[in-house]
Structure 1
């Protein structure tokens, strides 16, 4: 299986800060490809299972009495009832715009369990769920899967019903306590509107009269008309409707998924003729003409001070730079609890070391701005996003004197 170039770039960018540096890019892409194959196989298996269930359910719906009589509208209700109920629930969920992650949580859990069984790296599975089922992409991705499953279910039921009607001769009847024959005719004509547009014949008043319960003889043409009409209703209101929704969900899923990939590939490491950018910058009231360009940074060698402060590695994911730390025993600020403790228990001579090979984001910058009052220095370790970090920190009122480039 070949991954798209943009997805390859996105997966490498995503895993860059969550995976050990000892794992090569080739190994990451191989593991990611296995997860993609697993997810595709899982979806195909679910679609095939629904098709099998539909093929098994149709003969049960066509189960008739000793006189081989089938109630027409009761039969339609059995064949299409659960389909319309699930479609109604799905539409209500879309209108309410519920939490998108909850809409596809079941698929994430199922894929994660299968991935662990196959011993696939947890980080790669999480990256796959982020890149292919993150944000609203997951909502439309699972919507596509659900509509494909129901299409398979209804198609399996339709083929099974065709086989049943080809091998059995049944009498289609209708009976009611509250409705008249005219009411039944009007209802039939209303349902027949869409099938008639596609060339399927609608039952006539004579067909309805010959199908009333208590009529012993039913013409062969009437039985054939009812059979084609029922099959046409299942095809149009079931298979065709779900197939159209599956195609629509597929288009929206690809659009949202591509947007997720673009959010990663648009923040690639700096290259020639490409300026640094801040991911998700915080709003500012300053106009463009008032923005002061960031001052150039000093290196640790240019500064008389050394790393004799209490050091904290901020959201650190790569190996600890022991040479650069010069014996400093560094603590970690990798989660919300550690960061909250840092803010609540200030002490003197503290320094935060930032991984400058990862682009800044708003959440990280918000914490660093809060920590500025009780932090003596901010060291940038790495080279890829040094200027982006420098600009972002200075925009958050951290003086250039406190920002030092700690070179590799």
Structure 2
């Protein structure tokens, strides 16, 4: 009893062989899931203005990856490389560090300038005003960051130094690419959807403030160590009790860590002119250590801890694999084009398999008519006219000239037609400026098998004549692949003469009949 035929796709070994011919090199693969997702979103934004020419990238992605989601990401990455998007991402790192350092220095010296911590009239510093100047903006921005984190649910970064740093990094003209703003928009939108923007901008903002407070402490310590300052408090409407309570509350945490804090009597004494004059160096030292302890405990330490927390949350979020929304109409259109590249199912009869015991390999059909001709254009540029001007018309009984764009389905259909007709002469038309690869060698080898003889016509870019460099490249390739029997034709005229050399004359055909 004969078993029922079944349908199947080509075996995995064949798919792997096809993939090796057109797979992208390892350096072209995405560096991280986040980078792949960013590039894909940016490519989608760029293609909103019009689809890109992606025939080659689609082919490479189809053969290099398994699964439609991975193929969609790979296509976007290959297009992004052509547009310079990975290069733009790589530019952000050094430029971003420079922006971060500049913003940290600006914040630090702006606060120090406002507090007049190093230079002041008569080297006299209002200690309470210096405290507010050094830490006031820090408290305000920290409050807004925490409010943004709570109210947005982690989706938005809000206004912050981190947002400003990202904006400056993308817009600075240092080696900026043409699609830098599209990449910035994609980063903002994508990271907001994944609830990562708030942690990225938080890590940047808190990092800037951490560096700023570090610079503040260095400058304060240097100034207090090598200059004599007089730290006082002055008021017109507030009472001495307010300043005593203020110093006690703010100095509680620094005091736990061993920082000296002025007592009530020292605070009261610094509020009078006579007390200021009578105060010795020890009292001034307590005020200096109190101010530096407050900057350390209320400024540097919280920002450093929040920067570490934001960085940890950011890294944990970026470890997640990039997910492709397969329901997106944009993605569905790409998937449909990838589906069209799938080879048609093959009918396999278990009793007639070539590898079954007692069976032999299939035999090709009878040769075609003498003088029959097949012309195939292989991956020619779109501007190349077809059929090729100057070639003779195919004789009666020959197949119509085929033009292959490079898809696996087109190649299989062409090989099936050649196996059925077995032409006496096969002319494969190629582009002389193109570089042949393993896929080209495989097609030529399979196409030449059922033909009586085979030749390659290498066409140039403009007038059809190939240049010497292109001909030399194809000639060396034919020799390296063992295609000594394949003739290389440099022009349509010589290809016509090659075709005519095998075509029988009417007299010889009559004699055979």
TM-score bracket for the superposition, by shorter chain length: 0.5 to 0.7
Query: What residue number does 1:234 align with?
Result: 295
Query: What residue number does 1:94 align with?
Result: 149
Does the 8 Å contact 1:43/1:145 carry over to 2? Answer: no
Displacement of 1:219 = 1.3
Does the 8 Å contact 1:32/1:125 carry over to 2? Answer: no
Query: What residue number does 1:210 align with?
Result: 269
Is 1:44 matched up with 2:120? no
Name the SS of the counterpart of 1:70 in structure 2.
strand
Is 1:138 matched up with 2:197? yes
Query: What residue number does 1:225 align with?
Result: 286
Deviations 1:324-373 (A, max 9, x none): xxxxxxxxxxxxxxxxxxxxxxxxxxxxxx442589xxxxxxxxxxxxxx
Aligned partner of 1:263 among 323, 331, 339: 323
Query: What residue number does 1:113 align with?
Result: 171
Deviating more after overlay: 21-30 vs 177-186: 21-30
Aligned partner of 2:335 among 356, 361, 364: 356
Return closer, same or farther for 1:42/1:180 CA change in 2, 3 Å cut-off.
same
User: In structure 1, how many angstroms separate the alpha carbons of the residues matched to 2:312 and 2:53?
Assistant: 35
Query: What residue number does 1:199 align with?
Result: 258
Is 1:243 matched up with 2:202? no
Does the 8 Å contact 1:51/1:155 carry over to 2? Answer: no
User: In structure 1, how many angstroms separate the alpha carbons of the residues matched to 2:239 and 2:173?
Assistant: 59
Return closer, same or farther for 1:357/1:55 CA change in 2, 3 Å cut-off.
same
Structure showing greater radius of gyration is 2
User: In structure 2, how many angstroms separate the alpha carbons of the residues matched to 1:92 and 1:358?
Assistant: 46
Return closer, same or farther for 1:125/1:189 CA change in 2, 3 Å cut-off.
closer
Query: What residue number does 2:129 align with?
Result: 74
User: In structure 1, how many angstroms separate the alpha carbons of the residues matched to 2:301 and 2:267?
Assistant: 26
User: In structure 2, how many angstroms separate the alpha carbons of the residues matched to 1:236 and 1:48?
Assistant: 22
Name the SS of the counterpart of 2:278 in structure 1.
coil
Displacement of 1:151 = 1.9
Name the SS of the counterpart of 1:172 in structure 2.
strand
Matches within 5 A, 1:324-363: 354-356=333-335
When normalised by structure 1's length, the TM-score is 0.57
Listed as ranges, the gaps of 5+ residues in structure 1 are 268-277, 281-313, 318-353, 360-379, 385-406
User: In structure 1, how many angstroms separate the alpha carbons of the residues matched to 2:272 and 2:336?
Assistant: 79
User: In structure 1, how many angstroms separate the alpha carbons of the residues matched to 2:290 and 2:337?
Assistant: 62
Return closer, same or farther for 1:206/1:54 CA change in 2, 3 Å cut-off.
same
Is 1:381 matched up with 2:441? no
Deviations 1:179-234 (A, max 9, x none): 44444322211111211222212222332233223121211111111101101111
User: In structure 2, how many angstroms separate the alpha carbons of the residues matched to 1:179 and 1:192?
Assistant: 20
Displacement of 1:144 = 1.4
Does the 8 Å contact 1:54/1:156 carry over to 2? Answer: no
User: In structure 1, how many angstroms separate the alpha carbons of the residues matched to 2:337 and 2:265?
Assistant: 76
Name the SS of the counterpart of 1:356 in structure 2.
helix
Deviating more after overlay: 230-239 vs 57-66: 57-66
Displacement of 1:156 = 1.8
Name the SS of the counterpart of 1:262 in structure 2.
coil
Return closer, same or farther for 1:357/1:203 CA change in 2, 3 Å cut-off.
farther
Displacement of 1:89 = 2.2
User: In structure 2, how many angstroms separate the alpha carbons of the residues matched to 1:28 and 1:211?
Assistant: 66
Name the SS of the counterpart of 1:81 in structure 2.
helix
Which structure exhibits the higher relative contact order, with contacts defined as CA atoms closer than 8 Å and separated by 6 or more residues? 1
Query: What residue number does 1:163 align with?
Result: 222
Does the 8 Å contact 1:35/1:128 carry over to 2? Answer: no
Name the SS of the counterpart of 2:319 in structure 1.
helix
Return closer, same or farther for 1:12/1:156 CA change in 2, 3 Å cut-off.
closer
Deviations 1:153-188 (A, max 9, x none): 222222222222222211111233454444432221
Displacement of 1:120 = 5.1
Name the SS of the counterpart of 2:322 in structure 1.
helix
Aligned partner of 1:184 among 243, 246, 249: 243
Displacement of 1:73 = 0.5
Return closer, same or farther for 1:241/1:41 CA change in 2, 3 Å cut-off.
same
User: In structure 2, how many angstroms separate the alpha carbons of the residues matched to 1:3 and 1:194?
Assistant: 48
Displacement of 1:55 = 4.7
Return closer, same or farther for 1:12/1:251 CA change in 2, 3 Å cut-off.
same
